A and B are shown apart, each in its own frame.
Chain A
């Protein structure tokens, strides 16, 4: 089996997933210049989410908006642009500008007196816009910090082989590949299903990062070991041999994680479904990139193939280093 030989095909497959994702992110950014590339939940952009269950007659969306119209947000604006969506058969999910707990109490009391029955608060989240923005920025820094520390660690762990910094860099490129796949999938889900990136999405993204590097290092470790055993073999054969040797393990580990995630997606309920689907996409991408991107990048680097990219007709995209 020769995986490394077809490396540009695998780079192309990655691009075929990543480029549409970037396009959908761009579409969202153009349509919502304030939000950036992804549809963000109130966790990041600030606002309030109220989920209420009605035991009496179920009011219409307009009835609920009428109640909201009478109250003010924390910044003193009328809550006229609430987004009200049905949730199951007896509940609503209402997203609005940020309201405080006291206002929420008043709104629930007003609903109770207006629509009768008991109004139960299933979930109430309220985030101020400044905190949301700050968390978004900090999440970016956290990912960057993680990337730097991992490069340094991999560099150190592979110090006995030639060019250890390449291994760290290739692992990080594979990691950014997975980040872009996850962001792209989220952008598409946001476009078609109106899913919003919330703090669980951030957790899923961070998990994918951890898993991605974990997977890549296992393959690299085999290259490190084989490099000491087969000293005469050329680098490309060595890398390919190592990838093939670890293929069983890569697929089996991937399968076990996928089993648990599929179980969560099918039986875990609505709260975690978005989270699990993002994890599934990311972990699949993590295994793919460790086999088909990270190791081939080492070969590309070893051969300094970018010198020939612009002479060939095909495979000339600088972005192939994804």
Chain B
């Protein structure tokens, strides 16, 4: 018995020390002393959700008549493409998740130009094969091409719609009327931010040989020497163009560009006249597949439309955080006072357990990481109530056992063992509720409900640990060092 208490005491001390370390730091990095390589690099800032931090959240839905007809794999590819597209816009910390059969939740923290982001997401992706001559640019560079440039004033955002309009890239005249372009760009003063971001790349305007619309099939295969490569065939319209170009440019570079961003720069080894070719490079099976997916689905495999959109300005969020924290601190203080005054010594120990609970929760929020939202904070506050509840149940039991004449140590053991079934059953039912809420929130992209259920469930699990193990360890620690049997009033009797 005593040995297991010592074990838990060590566990609790280590846990508190680790939690304090994480809670008080904003970033944790541990370097290997032998070679200065970073072993651990963890961002331990508090992760604020969109409603507190400000930003844009959109719910995208497959633009098809019947949701059941959407292929989950294609939806996932759509998500990947949208994510890379958003990253290309220079938006950081984008999260995108598939929700249910035909929806994608996209979250963009801290952006101030939601109109452009939404417009860019909905455009059709544009895949181009671009003439790089002998001087290739690095993969990832954003470049300018001559494709779709009907006039110098036109913004790159508008070009995306062009792909479906023509299979011959040189016929710029047939580019679809860029109906989305002008009003978007003029909408707000910040509109220029995005277009300037895409033009920070070299001012060189590269020539587009053809677009992804000319591709017929794309497949990953292994070469005779065992390297991964991507085989493609061209539609008849592209065959001649490609044949002419590659014949004239053997040894030069041909960049594959998605939405104006270079994703691969293969060398032309020989003229490709038969409408079939192979892209070679230092591919792993993953990078080869990724490139094949991008070639195949330069345009989105599932068209999407925005069905829900929420933008929160940073001021509102900051105010909410400040006020919620103040309210949380006041609430916690009152609870701590109440427990101490009503239950005396055990109450004070339960308060210490509650502080332990808060430290561990905050540490887990940072490490997992869990994004704190307003409903999430509410779930957390509710779980404080439930954490206290477990202790209240135990202490009421403890008092009953003391009144019926048991010794202190007997009463403590009985208090815990007899309160356990009710703690177990009541918390299990809360976990069941959390689980159903999580499924509901996840299926319908209702991230409010989802965040709430995660926080509440996490709170229930941690509170079980602190109420049952931590408080008890503290109590025995005090018992071992003080002669409490002489002071029944310390237990509120």
Contacts and interface: CB of A to CB of B under 8 A. Distances in A.
Interface of A: 51, 53, 100-102, 104-106, 108-109, 120-128, 130-131, 134-135, 138-139, 141-142, 145-146, 149-150, 153-154, 157, 199-200, 202-204, 206-207, 209-211, 213-215, 217-218, 221-222, 224-225, 245-246, 248-249, 252-253, 255-257, 259-264, 266-269, 271-272, 275-276, 279
A200 B425 contact: no
Most chain B beta carbons < 10 A, residue from A134, A218, A225, A279: A218
Contacts of A214: 386, 389, 426-427, 429-430
Given A253-B392, A256-B388, A217 B334 contact: no
Which 9 pairs between the two chains have the least Cβ-Cβ distance?
A: A260-B331, A105-B187, A263-B331, A221-B422, A269-B323, A257-B385, A105-B115, A142-B440, A268-B327
Interface string B283-320: 00000000000000000000000111111110110011
Nearest to B437: A206
A202 B114 CA distance: 27
B452 A203 contact: yes
Contacts, number: 236
B436 to A, nearest CB: 5
10 contacts: A122-B315, A146-B436, A153-B428, A206-B449, A211-B430, A214-B426, A256-B335, A259-B338, A262-B331, A271-B374
Given A122-B313, A146-B432, A260-B331, A225 B418 contact: yes
A150 B381 contact: no
A184 B316 CA distance: 30
Contacts of A139: 440
A122 B332 CA distance: 30
Contact of B184 (A105, A120, A126): A105
Contacts of A146: 432-433, 436-437
Contacts of A153: 425, 428-429, 432
A131 B61 contact: yes
B309 A101 contact: yes
A319 to B, nearest CB: 26
The A interface, classified by DSSP as helix, strand, loop or mixed, is: helix
B323 A267 contact: yes
Given A256-B338, A272-B374, A199 B327 contact: no
B342 interface: yes
Given A150-B432, A253-B388, 10 more contacts: A122-B312, A122-B316, A124-B311, A125-B310, A142-B437, A210-B429, A215-B426, A249-B389, A256-B338, A272-B320
Contact of B421 (A122, A204, A221): A221
B316 to A, nearest CB: 5
B247 interface: no
A202 B449 contact: yes
Contacts of A217: 422, 425-426, 429
A279 B378 contact: yes
B428 A104 contact: no
Interface in B364-391: 374-375, 378-379, 381-382, 384-386, 388-389
A139 B448 CA distance: 13
Given A101-B115, A253-B385, A125 B309 contact: yes
A1 B125 CA distance: 73
Nearest to A222: B422
Contacts of B461: none
Given A138-B444, A206-B452, A106 B183 contact: yes
Contacts of B386: 214
Given A109-B188, A120-B313, A256-B335, A203 B448 contact: yes
Interface in B333-357: 334-335, 338-339, 342
Given A102-B183, A256-B388, A259-B331, A218 B422 contact: yes
Contact of A264 (B327, B444, B448): B327
A120 B315 contact: yes
Contacts of B444: 134-135, 138
B426 to A, nearest CB: 4
A203 B428 contact: no
Contacts of B448: 199-200, 202-203
B186 interface: yes
Interface string B410-450: 00000000100110011111101110110110011010110
Contacts of A128: 307-308
A238 B421 CA distance: 19
B231 to A, nearest CB: 41
Contacts of A246: 396
B330 A271 contact: no
A141 B379 CA distance: 21
A153 B433 CA distance: 11
B118 interface: yes
B324 interface: yes
B429 A108 contact: no
A124 B452 CA distance: 21
B313 A123 contact: yes
A51 B98 CA distance: 29
Contact of B327 (A149, A225, A263): A263
B392 A135 contact: no
A242 B334 CA distance: 29
A221 to B, nearest CB: 4
Nearest to B319: A269
A209 B300 CA distance: 41
B328 A263 contact: yes
A24 B324 CA distance: 32
